[in-house]
Amino acid sequence: MANKNLTIWTNAKLSDAATKILRDGIGEHRLIQSGVLEKSILAAGAHDPGLDMADVAFGQPAPAQVIAAGNLRWVHLTTAGYDRYDTPAMRAAVAARDGRITNSSSVFCEPVAQHGLAMILAQSRQLPVALANQMGAKAWPIGAIRAGSRLLAGQSVLILGYGTIARRLIEMLRPFDMRIVASRRKPRGDETGARIIATDAVEGELGMADHVVNILPGGGETAGYMNAGRFALMKRSAVFYNVGRGTTVDQKALESALRCGQIAAAWLDVTTPEPLPPGDPLWTAPNCFITPHTAGGYDTEPVKLAEHFLENLRRFTAGEALVDRVI
């Protein structure tokens, strides 16, 4: 790869500053910009003839076209999630041409972990109650809010998943002296910062957790993972958080768990569908707090996406291991 000038296709919708960084950073490589930029990093792009000429794709290319594009050696996604590309057909096609797919987990792990921590702290310090009072009665409910506030020390958190975001969240939670458990499909024994359990042992931990943080990726294996049965195993005082994918939660079961008091509260950054329709019952479910898929967002996000791609481009041309390789 070292001496080859590559053709790089992109449909990434970047800021002007990030686009300049990208153009300046690719050097002598050729850049093809799609005529139809991604509408959202959460949706795959449309079929584009330019992709058929590319060695490298940066953005959200159409999965079917990636499978068919015989020249395409590397796809770098502008998301942390990659479930629409994680199919047997895609894996077979990529393997057949010695290709690879990377994502942008390194760009999003810090903001999503911070968002998750902010949710946990807001719940523990009763911020929703104080804000609701400010927007409504404007009373001074000092006694109720102080009595309902909790210290994190000694509380238990169960994190569903052990990817880049989960590992960063664990680092942030450790100073609070919490009991931290995380689930992983196949524990390796070299994990740090938390007690790691296999996915099939989660049911035994749900009833002991004060906070259950879902960071599971989307896909067939995780669809509706948090269902009525698993919500029923949680403590009535426990709080559920979702900063992973909306498809991993049975939302009707979650709404029911909130309305009947099976769990104390839920904090959601992701839902299905997105946007969540105004009439969806989760908007009015008791103690359900929703942010509109903003956990991964921050002011320099487009620049970081471009810089992350360029670092992997350097590695790719040098024959080095790529960061955030998923396939």
Kindly write down the DSSP assignment for every residue of 74-115, as one continuous string.
Answer: EEEESSS--TTT-SHHHHHHHHHTT-EEE--HHHHHHHHHHH
Catalytic residue among 274, 307, 315, 325: 274
Q: Which amino acid is at 287?
A: N
Query: Can 301 be counted among the known catalytic residues?
Result: no
- Do 327 and 89 meet the contact criterion of CB atoms below 8 Å apart? no
Query: Can 100 be counted among the known catalytic residues?
Result: no
What are the C-alpha distances in Å from 205 to residues 215, 216, 294?
A: 16, 16, 29
- Do 104 and 81 meet the contact criterion of CB atoms below 8 Å apart? no
Residue 255: other Cβ atoms inside 10 A? 18
Quick one: residue 20, left, alpha or beta (phi over 0 = left, psi -120 to 50 = alpha)? Answer: alpha
Catalytic residue among 167, 184, 245, 308: 245
What phi, psi does 58 have (nearest 5°)?
-130, 115
Quick one: residue 198, left, alpha or beta (phi over 0 = left, psi -120 to 50 = alpha)? Answer: beta
- In terms of DSSP H, where are the helices of the chain? 16-25, 63-68, 88-96, 105-124, 127-135, 142-148, 164-173, 203-206, 228-233, 251-259, 301-318
- Do 327 and 74 meet the contact criterion of CB atoms below 8 Å apart? no
Query: Can 245 be counted among the known catalytic residues?
Result: yes
Rounded CA-CA distance 248/271 in Å is 9
Catalytic residue among 73, 168, 184, 293: 293
Could you list the active site residues? Answer: 245, 274, 293
